[in-house]
Chains A and B, each alone.
Chain A
Amino acid sequence: MNKIFIKQISKSFGATPVLRDVSLSIADGEFLTLLGASGCGKSTLLRILAGLELQTGGSVAIGERVVDGVRPKRRDVAMVFQSYALYPHMTVQDNMALPLRMRRLSSWQRLPLAGRFMPGTTATTAEIERDVTRTAKALGIGHLLARKPGQLSGGQRQRVAVGRAMVRQPAVFLMDEPLSNLDAMLRVQMRAEIKELHNRLGVTFVYVTHDESEAMTMSDRVAVMLDGELLQVAPPQEIYADPDDRRVAEFIGSPKINMLEARLRDGGLADAAGTSFAVAANVAHGTALTLGIRPEAFHLVDAGGANILTGAVRLVEHMGSDLFVHLDVPGTEHPLIARLLAERAPQILTGQTLHLGVKPERLLLFAADGKRLRPHNHRNGTVLRMRELAQ
């Protein structure tokens, strides 16, 4: 019903391209996150969806309707801004009532004094007031209706901004980094509240963020953007475990994925960092590869060998349940980071020599151009099915 189709959208500001040929379809009721570093064009894409910015090329459809050139107010979308964008001279009540007043009252009925005497104004105004009060109560800001935004805390303002978007029951919610002005504690709390709101309303959410943990915890699917390009659109666990592109693998995950430069030789072996790894890639011998190893893909072993990296411990970080071990391995540029379970790892000391094994199926292979090389070009069956469902 309210699917969104984004077809080959491009946008440039003057000679600078911001979005390049972005295509994406968003299912009805889906929570989709646009994730990327600042300046990657994700906010611009959101503004194009809202109609606040005009695309240079391509087309947007919401539901069955192509909305190119349709004014923002006629698109049936609501947006929550990073800065909240509340009207500082109006009370919370007026802030939330404004979108309803603009829609339900005629311009004659909105006149400051005379409007009150137009037929139907009183009834509609009472109805608007009821809707505002109900929404405010649902968000826990019912007691703040008479205040102005300047008298509210960050979290309260955020709720008012959500309330203003929610009160008119739009088909699509657009959120532009709504949590980035909040402190860490509140952010985690609001994250859960927004997710809950999505479950309750069941409408489509498009959420922009640069915060990986927000994207991973809230979304049905994550769209990773870089330099105006859409790199991968997939559910969070797939984005993490099965990235399409080296840049996606590097952007997602903390600590960062370890990357080893390798070269393929006979027998399906790749040499990297003084050891050889069994790889199942369908490429010619002598090809340069990059091996990606997630920090938690390592396990402790007793002695060196194939698929095992050996190095000196440089730094140990205790994270409670986990240990982050930084390992200097000869032949690598940066120290490797391994994430080991605290109770499974014995006392590890700085300077100690450590052997870390990697199971071949946990290696992620990337070609020189950054594209993922999958074992014999086969995808995981479940992943394939999920993709079909999403499209």
Chain B
Amino acid sequence: MSTHSPQGLSSSSAVMRHAALLITGALILIPFVWMVSLSIKPPGEIFRASFSFWPHEFYGIENYTKALTEAPLPQYMLNGVFVCASIVILQILICAPAAYALAKLDFPGKNLLFAMVLIALLLPHEVLALPLFILGYQIGILNTYAALIVPYVVSPFGIFLFRQFFKTIPDDVIHAARLDGLSELSIVWKIMVPMALPAIIAFGIFSVVGHWNSLFWPLIAVRDQSLMPPPLGIMAFKNEEAGNDYGPLMAASTIVVLPLIIAFLSAQRWFVEGLTGGAVK
């Protein structure tokens, strides 16, 4: 008796829970599925009133060829890879030592510095767009790769996330490392970062996804098409070339998000571990 009623209750609540998850999942997935569906349809079918996922006439090869040839999509993708990789590497190079200092070292002004990190965490990057634009103009880096990379290399989110993770590493490990002869910087790179690898990978994914998809700042910072990251490139492509030609546009969009999906699926385990690891230990 006593085991039956909670089970019944939990199964009905499980149905509710799954219904809610299915609906929100669908809301997120449908536009995406639609995009993929449109990318393999001929122009005539795209605006037909009836909806079907699979096209009557497979037009994928034409759309994808057009997407890859009419606009410099490979160039955009390479720009995206270069910019995202530079950002994430520089972010880790800067955030890990900063987070170590905030988590494990004692120095005057530490709490004030951490408060400043938290304040920076609250500020949306868009707020800083105008000052950054003026600054970029003054030092003459606008319309270069540097303009896309430099504003992001110090990540308050990264410092915060790493600090929280480093705090869970016992002090004794650091003491042992000091006695073993490691300098403070080698402690960061040889002990702390490898021990916090799940958090580092989770942060890396966040960073890459965010900057790969970023449109707002690149729109301000670069004008040269050869420097444009993928989303900006697609926008330019739409304005100049495609007009109402949604097939190739959707094909280009699909190509642009594909690397992210592959990267996320292959690193999923790390991602979840990194976000929950600090909390449950």
Contact = CB atoms under 8 A, between A and B. Distances in A.
A85 B175 contact: yes
A118 interface: no
Q: How large is the interface on B (under 10, 10 to 19, 20 to 34, 35 or more residues)?
A: 10 to 19
A161 B176 CA distance: 10
B191 A83 contact: no
A52 interface: yes
A39 B268 CA distance: 44
Nearest to A165: B179
Contacts of A102: 180-182
B253 to A, nearest CB: 39
B255 to A, nearest CB: 35
Contacts of B172: 81-83, 85
A50 B175 CA distance: 9
B181 A73 contact: yes
A78 B179 contact: yes
Interface string B146-182: 0000000000000000000000001011011111111
B190 to A, nearest CB: 8
Contact of B173 (A73, A77, A85): A85
A101 to B, nearest CB: 9
A99 B194 CA distance: 18
A88 B170 contact: no
B194 A73 contact: no
Contacts of B194: 87, 89
A73 B195 contact: no
Contacts of B197: 89
A83 B170 contact: yes
Interface in A78-130: 78-79, 81-83, 85-89, 98-99, 102-103
A323 B4 CA distance: 55
A14 to B, nearest CB: 12
Contacts of A82: 172
A78 B194 CA distance: 23
Contacts of B178: 51-52, 71-73
A164 interface: yes
A85 B170 contact: yes
Nearest to B193: A89
A73 B182 CA distance: 8
A299 interface: no
Contacts of A85: 170, 172-173, 175-176
A7 interface: no
Contacts, number: 55
Contact of B175 (A47, A86, A87, A98): A47
Contacts of A51: 178
Contacts of A72: 175, 178-179
Nearest to B196: A89
A86 B170 CA distance: 10
B169 to A, nearest CB: 9
Contacts of A103: 181
Q: How large is the interface on A (under 10, 10 to 19, 20 to 34, 35 or more residues)?
A: 20 to 34
A52 B182 contact: no
A92 to B, nearest CB: 14
A73 B195 CA distance: 22
A99 B181 contact: yes
Q: Which of B175, B180, B182, B195 has the most CB of A within 10 A?
A: B180
Contacts of A86: 173, 176
A50 B177 CA distance: 12
A271 to B, nearest CB: 53
A320 B239 CA distance: 95
Contacts of B179: 50, 52, 72-73, 77-79, 99
A103 B172 CA distance: 20
B180 A73 contact: yes
Contacts of A87: 173, 176-177, 191, 194-195
Interface in B216-270: none
Interface string B179-193: 111100000000100
A102 B185 CA distance: 13
A99 B170 CA distance: 19
Nearest to A90: B194
A81 B197 CA distance: 24
Given A81-B175, A89-B197, A98 B180 contact: yes
Interface string A141-161: 000000000000000000000
B176 A79 contact: yes
A73 B179 CA distance: 5
Interface string A44-58: 000100111000000
Contacts of A73: 178-182
Interface string B99-132: 0000000000000000000000000000000000
Contacts of A89: 194-195, 197
A81 B176 contact: yes
A87 B66 CA distance: 53
Contacts of B173: 85-87
Interface of A: 47, 50-52, 71-73, 77-79, 81-83, 85-89, 98-99, 102-103, 164
Q: Top 9 closest A-B pairs, CB basis?
A: A102-B181, A85-B172, A73-B181, A85-B176, A99-B180, A89-B194, A81-B172, A72-B178, A85-B173
Given A102-B180, A164-B176, 8 more contacts: A52-B179, A72-B178, A82-B172, A83-B170, A87-B195, A89-B195, A98-B180, A102-B182
25 contacts: A47-B175, A50-B175, A52-B175, A52-B178, A71-B178, A72-B178, A73-B181, A73-B182, A77-B179, A79-B179, A81-B176, A83-B170, A83-B172, A85-B172, A85-B173, A86-B173, A87-B173, A87-B191, A89-B195, A89-B197, A98-B182, A99-B181, A102-B180, A164-B176, A164-B180
